[in-house]
A and B are shown apart, each in its own frame.
Chain A
Amino acid sequence: MELTTIWFVLIAVLWVGYFCLEGFDYGVGMLLPVLGKDETRKRQMLSAIGPFWDGNEVWLLTAGGAIFAAFPHWYATLFSGFYLPLLLILVGLILRGVGLEYRGKVDSPAWRARMDAMVVAGSLLPAVLWGIAFSNIVSGVPIDAQMEYAGGFWNLLGPVALLGGLTTLALFLTHGALFVALKTDGALRHDARALALRLGVVAAVLAVAWLTLLHGRTGTPLSWWAAGLAAAALLGGLALAARGREGWAFSGTFVAIALATTSLFLALFPDVMPSSLDPDWSLTATNASSTAKTLGIMTVVALVFTPVMLLYTAWSYWTFRRRISGHHIPTEVHHAAVEPQRPGR
């Protein structure tokens, strides 16, 4: 296989990892006001993603770095072209990271409400915007002969792209609800499972519509297969959720997101950013790539260190595998978090 093809595949794998993993913590973040009916339930939900969300986000950073290293033109065109959506994604990631880390640092309802709002908004923005971005990447955007993005912000908000945003939103919500069902106990678990079923139906309808439109234009037999299997995995997961098999149901949405993402990359190949102006101006895995030297070095590094990273990531998930019940949430508050009593109140 060509080195450029290997790196196309590796970058697809990184995006698959990012969406499958961070997808559920975006979902949990957005569902905070819905499923977190009281403070204990909110804390159960947040603690379920607590040890993982930061590591999940590194998949995005690695995907970004890998695109830069392996396909500098793809990185340059995509990041300078999709300027405002990326700015919004960055703002979202900043808000949710701070919200998650600082929420428990001050023991006051007003403070927590602010941080919750940041977590919700910060999870919503990337969940929607990545769907929009990928829809545009696959269906093509105006790119000129100099490999520069020649459209504006509103070009990116076509109907199919918006449908893509809603699809990733619904998929991540379902994925997140199933994660809560899998990782918590008590009434929260049951509410989460019931909600996942309802969200899942919406996600399935949206996903089928979006993937059909997208692959209808640019699909290949393989990408159709991947999309079809994604839909099957999603429906299978929902059926298992209905039977109370949360672990298998979560695996179902996990596989569905993985296959849906794979179908996008299959439809894309060998382009990495097709031009809607002239096919000759499209960025491809060949004309956007680094030299074979760089790709070769990166391949060795990836082959050696990715398994190590996967091992300790798996170990972390294994370590925190237990369901979190209400009684696991500590009631005592750090002495610095307590709001000082103001005299006269």
Chain B
Amino acid sequence: MEALDLARWQFGITTVYHYFFVPVTIGLSLLVALMQTQWMRTRDTRWLRLTKFFGKLFTINFALGLVTGIVQEFQFGMNWSDYSRFVGDIFGAPLAIEALLAFFLESTFLGLWIFGWGRIPEKLHAAAIWLVHIGTLLSSYFILAANSFMQNPVGYRVNPETGRAELTDFLAVLTNPVQLVTFPHVITAAYMTGGAFVLAFALWHLWRPGTPRTDAPMYRRAARLGAVVVLLAGAGSAISGDLQGKIMTEVQPMKMAAAEGLYEDVPEGEGAPFSIITVGTLDGREEVWALTVPKLLSYLATGSLDGAVEGIDHIQERYELTYAGAELTAAEDYRPVIPVTYWSFRLMIGLGLAAMGVALAVLWRLRGSATARDDREEDRPVLRHRLWGWAAGSVLFMPLLANSFGWIFTEMGRQPWLVMGLMTTRTGVSPGTTTGEVLTSMVVFTLLYGALAVVEVKLLLRYGRAGAEQVPEDASYDPADRDDDDAFVFTY
């Protein structure tokens, strides 16, 4: 393998890994903030216990999101220095602004939240977790603006003297049509992940034989909150995803065609079908059997059931004519890896829908308040069927993996482009770094990340299983109620 392939693998591995923690951070910070606000309003200690329980899991998750995020910022310069030179004028600004506006906010107020129990007034303390959440949203906005530029460059010109892209309109970069639909899609998908996280742990405690009967109402409440968030965010994710499809058809038609493996053009009036699954050759040229929904691809791509959809072969011809002449844009093949785009697109949608299905089932099963039947079954779990245990274990991963597949689709579907229409991935790699260097860093990160994943999962399971800690009925974290010499509520 060459440095280029290794650098791509490294970016893929480190980014997919980093993105296991990001949606949990965005989604869970919202849910913890909601729980803490509910406690402040009602003084019901069940909300306090849930705040602390999920807050603990949040910090375990946040630690890895933080340390793996630093790698992301350094990696552009280390492995992709020619890309950094080419787009730095546009791409660097959102990254710097993200750090200044979002990272300082997140880290400072998370520090205040973790160490602030009993040391800052309760209202400020609750405000701190909300500010952490706002920080995650700001961070998403700016990094997605940078990513959207790669999908659909706007607000720039290429300087003929330097051959570099230069910023002409920053507002256009921040309001890129791709950005405006991607941001809500990414945020709702993150909320689904946070909701599913809460749902999973609450459901597991409702199902597990050892859960104290008196805790059941608390976990029931958490399960319902998580399920409602999954459903609402899931609906938002579907709507924003649909809008994304239309924009994608306009600016990256190849990616849309690759999502379906559509080789031949489908003219206006015929209506292109969408296949749920296909059995055939890997690249989808020959199909043996397929389960298809008529006209759905036309609708996804154009908003009309009869809309014309351009096929892969035609786009390839068109791109060869347009782009083959220049060093930065020449490529042998303008098609992404079709099996990857085809299946990641379906897995994204399927896993998201599956999570919504579980959420719906849980809401149905837990409808009403504590049912009379449950009250009779003292000292037994609320949900006894083995399927609920399976549901708890799997719903955690459904939106998480849907997020991963969504990004794999978006980024692999952009190939061979690094910046759509401007620069191929091949030309962005650092010319000076050796294969040995990239190989070293890829091996180091992969091993380190693997080891950390084991530690992280162990801790999450351990703290997740142990359940919510007891707190005194009249728990107060107002500094006025504490003595200067009292032990702190939390220290390292």
Say if the beta carbon of A266 comes within 8 Å of chain B.
no
- Are A72 and B84 CB-contacts (below 8 A) given A65-B92, A297-B93, A298-B96? yes
- Are A69 and B88 CB-contacts (below 8 A) given A54-B110, A298-B93? yes
Say if the beta carbon of A285 comes within 8 Å of chain B.
no
- Residue on A nearest B463 in the bound complex, by CB: A336
- Determine whether the beta carbon of A76 is less than 8 Å from that of B77: yes
Complex Cα spacing A336 to B60, Å: 13
Say if the beta carbon of B210 comes within 8 Å of chain A.
no
Query: B419-439 CB contact bits vs A (8 Å, 1 = yes)?
Result: 000000000001111000100
- Determine whether the beta carbon of B166 is less than 8 Å from that of A320: no
Query: A46-63 CB contact bits vs B (8 Å, 1 = yes)?
Result: 110011101101101110
Residues facing A in B71-89 (CB within 8 A) are 71, 73-74, 76-79, 81-82, 84-85, 87-89
Residues facing A in B377-410 (CB within 8 A) are none
- Determine whether the beta carbon of A54 is less than 8 Å from that of B96: no
Complex Cα spacing A102 to B74, Å: 24
Kindly provide the distance from the CB of A160 to the nearest chain B CB, expressed in whole angstroms. 23
Residues facing A in B449-489 (CB within 8 A) are 452, 455, 459, 462-463, 465-466, 469, 484-489
Complex Cα spacing A309 to B100, Å: 8
Query: A233-276 CB contact bits vs B (8 Å, 1 = yes)?
Result: 00000000000000000000000000000000000000000000
- Residue on A nearest B73 in the bound complex, by CB: A64
Say if the beta carbon of B492 comes within 8 Å of chain A.
yes
- Determine whether the beta carbon of B67 is less than 8 Å from that of A62: no
Complex Cα spacing A148 to B440, Å: 20
Say if the beta carbon of A155 comes within 8 Å of chain B.
no
Query: Of B111-119, B228-236, B334-342, which binds chain A?
Result: B111-119
- Determine whether the beta carbon of B60 is less than 8 Å from that of A43: no
- Determine whether the beta carbon of A43 is less than 8 Å from that of B492: yes
Identify which of B59, B103, B469, B489 contacts A101 (C-beta below 8 A): B59
Complex Cα spacing A65 to B486, Å: 42
- Determine whether the beta carbon of B107 is less than 8 Å from that of A68: no
Complex Cα spacing A322 to B463, Å: 30
- Are A291 and B77 CB-contacts (below 8 A) given A69-B92, A76-B82, A103-B492? no
- Are A105 and B459 CB-contacts (below 8 A) given A50-B111, A51-B111, A291-B89? yes
Query: B324-368 CB contact bits vs A (8 Å, 1 = yes)?
Result: 000000000000000000000000000000000000000000000
- Determine whether the beta carbon of B78 is less than 8 Å from that of A102: no
- Determine whether the beta carbon of A98 is less than 8 Å from that of B77: no
- Residue on B nearest A100 in the bound complex, by CB: B492
- Are A58 and B104 CB-contacts (below 8 A) given A50-B115, A76-B82? yes
- Are A324 and B491 CB-contacts (below 8 A) given A72-B89, A87-B440? yes
- Residue on A nearest B451 in the bound complex, by CB: A98
- Determine whether the beta carbon of B63 is less than 8 Å from that of A98: yes
- Are A76 and B85 CB-contacts (below 8 A) given A62-B103, A320-B119? yes
B452 proximity list for chain A (CB < 8 A)? 94, 98
- Determine whether the beta carbon of A313 is less than 8 Å from that of B488: no
Say if the beta carbon of A5 comes within 8 Å of chain B.
no
Say if the beta carbon of A305 comes within 8 Å of chain B.
yes
Query: Of A77-85, A131-139, A193-201, which binds chain B?
Result: A77-85
B104 proximity list for chain A (CB < 8 A)? 55, 58, 62, 309, 312-313
- Determine whether the beta carbon of B63 is less than 8 Å from that of A102: yes
Residues facing B in A24-50 (CB within 8 A) are 43, 46-47, 50
A345 proximity list for chain B (CB < 8 A)? none
Say if the beta carbon of B444 comes within 8 Å of chain A.
yes
- Determine whether the beta carbon of B71 is less than 8 Å from that of A90: yes
Kindly provide the distance from the CB of A121 to the nearest chain B CB, expressed in whole angstroms. 12
- Determine whether the beta carbon of A76 is less than 8 Å from that of B98: no
Q: How many residues from B make CB contacts under 8 Å with A? A: 80
Identify which of B90, B432, B462, B484 contacts A80 (C-beta below 8 A): B432
Say if the beta carbon of B490 comes within 8 Å of chain A.
yes
Complex Cα spacing A50 to B491, Å: 8
Complex Cα spacing A58 to B111, Å: 13
Residues facing B in A326-342 (CB within 8 A) are 327-331, 334-336
Identify which of B77, B101, B488 contacts A79 (C-beta below 8 A): B77
A294 proximity list for chain B (CB < 8 A)? 89-90, 92-93, 166-167, 170
Kindly provide the distance from the CB of A85 to the nearest chain B CB, expressed in whole angstroms. 11
Kindly provide the distance from the CB of B153 to the nearest chain A CB, expressed in whole angstroms. 15
Say if the beta carbon of B251 comes within 8 Å of chain A.
no
Identify which of A98, A319, A327 contacts B485 (C-beta below 8 A): A327
A228 proximity list for chain B (CB < 8 A)? none
Complex Cα spacing A75 to B92, Å: 10
Complex Cα spacing A106 to B462, Å: 9
Kindly provide the distance from the CB of A5 to the nearest chain B CB, expressed in whole angstroms. 18
- Are A69 and B93 CB-contacts (below 8 A) given A50-B491, A148-B431? yes
- Residue on A nearest B52 in the bound complex, by CB: A334
The 8 closest A-B pairs by CB, nearest first: A72-B88, A79-B77, A69-B92, A336-B466, A65-B96, A68-B92, A101-B63, A51-B111
Query: Given A50-B492, A57-B70, A324-B488, list of 17 further CB < 8 A pairs?
Result: A43-B491, A46-B492, A54-B66, A58-B104, A62-B96, A64-B77, A66-B96, A69-B92, A72-B85, A75-B92, A79-B77, A98-B455, A293-B166, A313-B104, A316-B112, A329-B487, A336-B465
What is the interface of chain A, defined by CB distance below 8 A to chain B?
Answer: 43, 46-47, 50-52, 54-55, 57-58, 60-62, 64-70, 72-73, 75-81, 83-84, 86-87, 90-91, 93-94, 97-98, 100-106, 146-150, 290-291, 293-294, 297-298, 301-302, 305-306, 309, 312-313, 316, 319-320, 322, 324-325, 327-331, 334-336
Residue pairs across A and B with Cβ atoms less than 8 A apart, 10 shown, are A46-B492, A58-B99, A65-B73, A66-B99, A68-B73, A68-B84, A83-B437, A93-B67, A102-B60, A336-B466
